[in-house]
Structure 1
Amino acid sequence: MMKDSISKANMDDLQEILNLQYLAYQSEAALFGNNDIPPLKQTLDEVIEEYHKGIILKMVDTDNLIIGSIAQNNGMQAIRLDALASNTPAHKIYERLGFEYRGKQHLYAENTGWTDFYFFDYKYDNTNL
């Protein structure tokens, strides 16, 4: 059985990545009563600009559907993701994809106020992308 994987996105993936971003952040915006968050305002042109400045990684499931993504700048050796401490489904996906839990911190964010976040990272080189 094929498992979920992380790989470099290509230009053909960018619209699907943006659509997924919109879906993912709508529930967060509703949860906090604030639709004025950057991921919901980002345009395809801005995603394309990010793509040309660095690398966009995509996470795909066993059906080759994009289930997550992250943009990174050239020269990075690790990717860090954070999730609300209460977002157990995200934690499980990150760990299944090779991200390692690195800790919890109580942080302030405009859209959440003071909230506990869990941090995960994925160390990489050219052999595991």
Structure 2
Amino acid sequence: MTPGLLVQSQGRVLPVGLSVLSTRGKRELELPDRGLVVGAVRPGSPAARAALRPGTREEAFRGGVIVLGGDVITAADRQLVDAFEDLQSVLIDRKEGDPVTLTVVRGGQTRTVQLTLDASAFRVQGR
């Protein structure tokens, strides 16, 4: 799963949470107050098996790009998520085969998705 809210910083592309957007911007884009946008889902990954939906379109904003139209992860195992690091902190002590329950917003509706971690969940992906 690749985060869908990205900013350029010193030549690198970094994932960030929705907190970087203004309240007005989130409202205009019909996004929740906090969360991590799912920008891409790799085939065969735990996110794909859990049927997480990636964004379908990119939109530029001052300082970055956001991928819209997909799921927004707002919690992982009941811990609020607003940055990629928040999601990583939930996974830090996990191992292959462990379940993770995600709270996601899709099309304005909140739902719960359970996924099972595999080796791909622990690989660092290039950006």
- Shared fold (TM-score, shorter chain, > 0.5): no
How does the TM-score come out when normalised to structure 1?
0.24
The structure with more helix, counted as a fraction of residues: 1
